[in-house]
Amino acid sequence: MGFLDYLSEPSNRSVLYEQAIEHVALTAAAVAIAIVVGMVLGIVAHRNAVLRPPIVNTTATLLTVPSLALFALLIPVVGIGFKPALIALAMYALLPIVRNTVSGLGSVDPAVTESARGMGLNARQRLLRIELPNAWPVILTGIRVATQLTVGIAAIAALVGGPGLGREIFRGIRSIGSPFALDSLLGGTLGIIVVAILFDLLYTGIGRLTTSRGIR
Amino acid sequence: MTDVMIELQELTKVYPGTTSPAVDHISLQVPRGEILVLVGPSGCGKTTTMKMINRLIEPTSGEIILDGENVTHMDPNQLRRRIGYVIQQIGLFPHLTIADNIATVPKLLGWDKDRIRARIDELLDTVGLDPDTYRDRYPKELSGGQRQRVGVARAMSADPDVMLMDEPFGAIDPITRTRLQNEFLRVQRDIQKTIVFVTHDIDEAIKMGDRIAILNEGSRIAQFATPEEILTAPANDFVSDFVGAGASLKRLNLSRVRDIAIRTDAPTATADEPAGAIRERLLGSDWTAVLRLDADGRPQRWLRAPDLRREDIDLSRAGLPAVAMVEPQATLSDALNEMLVGSAGVAIIVDGRGRYQGVVDIDTIITSIKRMVDENADYYRLAKLGDIDGRETVGA
Ligand SMILES: Nc1ncnc2c1ncn2[C@@H]1O[C@H](COP(=O)(O)OP(=O)(O)OP(=O)(O)O)[C@@H](O)[C@H]1O
Ligand SMILES: [Mg+2]
């Protein structure tokens, strides 16, 4: 009964709501940075066989650094708060986007690129009009995975003074033993699940709208 | 304007990391409006030679002259927009509709919307696809043969003077291939493009080429001649081996249905005629069956006298279906094949829209074969005499 009481308390609800908005904003900002950087890196890696291994390996290595450590490592560099959280999350989100951009572009039928070349499309036109649209479903899957990853890891951001639902979770952790600790933990966690589901629905919609019927 | 549309001068390609050239100093000319077929065994350098013309492969040395202009060093993308390109795997853009696939180059060239739309419909019509049905489809919603037609339409979109086709019908079943070849020849009669056509199938080369270059290793020209000459006067053993047995039978591929006597005296009936009137016409002719056409003039059924005895019979189902239909540009080999497949004694000649033009019977084709055999016999007799003469000269 305790958790329902917690949820029905307007002040708790508005905290959760506010933190959920922060969480979404933090995730969206981190993923947006990761999309831009990740797709550029992915395109470079696709085009340049020499740069491909260092790019893919570096982004893969980033993902293996424990999140807590990465957040902490950034504090001396950029201080505490929104910034270190954003930078660390963007780094985590990079790998799925880079990897899927490379594999998406790599899976475009060579006959398609050859005929595009044979028709006189230059490298930029081929990339924008032919290769990216065909690789898009794979890239979008990478972005989706990156987003789910970010939504989860963003909870840790509260430890370095970052925003989001992690704050409610850590309030619960700090007050463990008190009667309300579990409510806060549950509230924050549930909020994260809801945010994750909403993002997923959004991606399903985006996927529908932005993927050509010809390659669905 | 020159009469030579494509000229290759000493064109050579040595791939990086290899020592022997894939293409070794090839020089040739293609007259405006002609189809040149490059044919030869696998790996002899056909594709490499062709791709140097639109510089998808940069030549190691040599010159490419297009319509009098040296294009060896011009911007390759500008060059390619002037050259239609068709490959065996087609490479339609899967994420674009058929219309958008065809519109690619016209858009690059900045044509206005109305002109592009009109061009798409015109081209779909040309390659035998109904624009209203196919315009908005995606490549995956087409059969292999239909995709290849779209590939050809796309290559023609900006009305290039030159087209390069690398085994364009190579991956298609034999029946559809024959049909596409015939349709393409019909289209070519109107558009008169200058075409370099690559194949490794000598029969296709004989059928499609105005001129044939038989290539040996390193793209060295073993013989450059008309199909007729290649069949009757192979320049060397390599060519005769490549042409293979049955050279005279292959000459059936040289003669088109339109070149032999088409009979137009077969009795026909229109869709709205009653059985009685048709029967009278049939009995008044020396034919055993009358060909009933549908409302659009397309052959529908063969009707014999017994089929026409009753007035209330449904004539669109009576008799036998009209089979073995070929277009005038089909070869005698195609026509004969259709007759054998359809077990019919005649092939029906139809135009591009399937409308009845006449018939050709098996006797006419056999007469043509006989004439060829006789000519061949003459040729070999003469060749032998020539050979004897030659030996005498050497000995003297
Ligand atoms: N990119 C490349 N690098 C090195 N060698 C190549 C390359 N492309 C082709 N070759 C070689 O050049 C020669 C000619 O190849 P090409 O593709 O032009 O032959 P082809 O006549 O078109 O053969 P096919 O009938 O099998 O298509 C072959 O020996 C081939 O192995
Ligand atoms: Mg080839």
**pLDDT winner (highest mean) among A179-193, B45-59, B266-280:** B45-59
Exposure b/e, B138-161, CB count within 10 A at least 16 = b: bbeebeebbbbbbbbbbbbbbebb
Structure-model confidence comparison of residues B64 and B393, the more confident one = B64
Is pLDDT above 70 for B2? no
pLDDT of residue B1: 52
Q: Provide block-wise average pLDDT over 10 residues at a time, chain A (216 residues).
A: 84 93 96 98 96 92 86 85 90 95 96 96 96 97 97 90 92 88 92 96 96 92
Is pLDDT above 60 for B310? yes
Q: How far is A125 from chain B (nearest CA, A)?
A: 9
Contact B138 A119 (CB under 8 A): no
Token duo for residue B51: 């791709």
pLDDT of residue B391: 37
Half-sphere exposure in the Cβ direction for B176 (13 Å, CA): 14
Pocket lined around ligand 1, Cβ cut-off 6 Å: B 15, 18, 22, 42-48, 200
Is pLDDT above 80 for B343? no
pLDDT of residue B378: 64
In tens, the pLDDT along B213-253 reads 999 999 999 999 999 899 888 999 999 999 886 666 677 77
Q: What is the DSSP letter of B22?
A: S
Vertex B297 angle, CA B296 and B298, to 5° = 95
- Residue B380: pLDDT band with limits 50, 70, 90: low
Is pLDDT above 70 for B338? yes
pLDDT of residue B217: 94
Q: Determine how β-strand B35-39 pairs with β-strand B61-66.
A: unpaired
Cβ-nearest to B91 among A112, A125, A133: A112
In chain B, the residue whose alpha carbon lies closest to the alpha carbon of A136 is: B95
Q: Of all residues in chain B, what percent are helix, strand and coil, respectively (each to 5)?
A: 40, 25, 35
Token duo for residue A163: 């925003």
Interface test with A, best of B47, B53, B93 (most A CBs within 10 A): B93
Q: Which residues surround ligand 2, an ion (CB under 5 A)?
A: B 47
Q: How far is B349 from chain A (nearest CA, A)?
A: 36
Contact B92 A115 (CB under 8 A): yes
Cβ-nearest to A115 among B85, B97, B140: B85
Percent of chain B beyond pLDDT 70?
92
Exposure b/e, B195-217, CB count within 10 A at least 16 = b: bbbbbbebbbbbbbbbbbbbbbb
Interface test with B, best of A112, A113, A115, A212 (most B CBs within 10 A): A115
**Which value, to the nearest 10 degrees, does the dihedral of the CA atoms of residues A29, A34, A39, A45 take?**
170
| Chain A residue numbers touching B154 (CB-CB < 8 A) | 119
Mean pLDDT of B48-74: 97
Q: Report helix angle A10-47 to A82-106, nearest 10.
A: 40
Neighbours of A122 (CB within 10 A): 15
Residue ranges in A1-51 assigned as alpha helix (H): 2-8, 10-47
Compute the radius of gyration of chain A from its Cα atoms.
Answer: 20
3-state secondary structure B195-258: EEEEECCHHHHHHHCCEEEEEEHHHEEEEEECHHHHHHCCCCHHHHHHHCCCHHHHHHHCCEHH
User: Is A114 in CB contact (< 8 Å) with chain B?
Assistant: yes
Contacts 24+ apart (CB under 8 A), B278-286: B278/B303, B278/B308, B278/B315, B279/B305, B279/B308, B279/B309, B282/B308
The one-letter amino acid code at A80 reads I
SS3 state of residue A121: coil
Tokens 């790998």 sit on residue: A95
- Residue B52: pLDDT band with limits 50, 70, 90: very high
CA–CA gap between residue B92 and residue B155 (Å, rounded): 11
Is pLDDT above 90 for B83? yes
Is pLDDT above 60 for B135? yes
Question: A121 and A129 in contact (C-beta within 8 Å)?
Answer: yes
In tens, the pLDDT along A103-128 reads 999 999 999 999 999 999 999 999 99
Is pLDDT above 70 for B100? yes
User: Is A124 in CB contact (< 8 Å) with chain B?
Assistant: no
pLDDT of residue B212: 97
Cα Dmax for chain B: 85
Token duo for residue B287: 């034919």
pLDDT of residue B98: 98
Mean pLDDT of B184-205: 93
User: Is A120 in CB contact (< 8 Å) with chain B?
Assistant: yes
Is pLDDT above 50 for B389? no
CA–CA gap between residue B46 and residue B57 (Å, rounded): 12
Q: Is B190 left (phi over 0), alpha (psi -120 to 50) or beta?
A: alpha
Question: B138 and A133 in contact (C-beta within 8 Å)?
Answer: no
Neighbours of B316 (CB within 10 A): 11
Contact A119 B105 (CB under 8 A): yes
> Which residues face B30 on adjacent strands?
B6
CA–CA gap between residue B154 and residue A121 (Å, rounded): 14
Is pLDDT above 50 for B394? no
Contacts of B290 (CB under 8 A, 6+ apart): B266, B267, B268, B269, B278, B281, B282, B302, B303, B304, B308
In this prediction the pTM is 0.81
